[in-house]
Amino acid sequence: MLSKTYTKYIQSLHHKKVRDTEDVFIAEGSKVVMELLKSAIFSCQQVLGLQQWLQENENSIRKYYAGPLQVIDNFDLEKISSQSSPNQVLGVFKKLTKTTVTAKGKISLVLDAIQDPGNLGTIIRIADWFGIPSVICSNNCTDMYNPKVVQSTMGSLGRVQIMYTTLAEWLQKNDTVHIYAAALNGKNVSELKGLKEGIIVIGNESKGISDEIMQLCTEKITIPKKGEAESLNAAVATGIILSHIFP
């Protein structure tokens, strides 16, 4: 059984403030934990798993991780998990040091105030699918280490560089690169086919791209609408845009 103190410690990592102070985050579920261990980018501090899961996976875990393996039961797992259906294992990983990226010579994804953790995680997974090396988030985007973000990246967190920054400043620093705003009444997204360098800006789920950022964009791109829905989900729009750049 887990100690009360350690249980409370893991629970406290559900909150950004504590993750920031402690400089660690939690990842949950067999797939995500294994992918982060394999990535060799994140240093793991602790793996807490059901006995059967640890037995079945010990050999593969030990290829990537030499630290403590803590056996827990379902009761412990439910207490420390942030999920409604906890999945066998939880890992405590060290956060990455902050990175700085530039936009030169590649496709970059810029997120302006993405609030939904599921959307951010899904967008990181999409970036990984299309081989986008970096995602630049405004400081008011949801935290990349939120357990729901980590969960919905499905392990892609270790393969995409994520930078939080003052977006306007970053865009101004990279002003030799064309900046495309995902918005209504722009150029058809299919015209981006084969683009080799460019910044794609995705806006907030309900408000879209903020005025300040929109003014820095050089062109609007649009996913043609044939029906009645007012908008598309932000992650879906991101996937569509990238799929037209890399057909």
Contact call for residue 233 and its own copies (CB under 8 A): yes
Contact call for residue 227 and its own copies (CB under 8 A): yes
Q: How far is the CB of 30 from its own copies (least distance, A)?
A: 11
Phi/psi-derived region of residue 119, left when phi > 0, alpha when psi is between -120 and 50, beta in every other case: alpha
The answer to whether 115 and 35 are in contact (CB under 8 A) is no
89, 110, 189, 209: which one contacts its own copies (CB under 8 A)?
Answer: 189
> x/- string (CB under 8 A) for its own copies, residues 106-125?
------------x---x--x
Contact call for residue 188 and its own copies (CB under 8 A): yes
Please identify, using beta-carbon distances, which residue of 18 and 154 lies nearer to its own copies: 154
Dmax (CA) of the chain? 59
Please identify, using beta-carbon distances, which residue of 92 and 208 lies nearer to its own copies: 208
Which residues fall within 8 angstroms of residue 191, CB to CB, at 6 or more apart? 221
Q: Which of residues 134-173 bind its own copies (CB under 8 A)?
A: 152, 154-156, 159
Contact call for residue 228 and its own copies (CB under 8 A): yes
Q: How far is the CB of 10 from its own copies (least distance, A)?
A: 21
Please identify, using beta-carbon distances, which residue of 24 and 127 lies nearer to its own copies: 127
Please identify, using beta-carbon distances, which residue of 35 and 112 lies nearer to its own copies: 35
Please identify, using beta-carbon distances, which residue of 9 and 130 lies nearer to its own copies: 130
Per-residue CA distances from 67 to 43, 50, 109, 219 (Å): 10, 17, 35, 50
Token reading at 53: 């899961």
Q: Angle at the Cα of 38 (from 62 to 19), degrees rounded to 5?
A: 100
Binding site for its own copies (CB under 8 A): 118, 122, 125-132, 152, 154-156, 159, 188-190, 223-233, 235-240, 243-244, 246-247
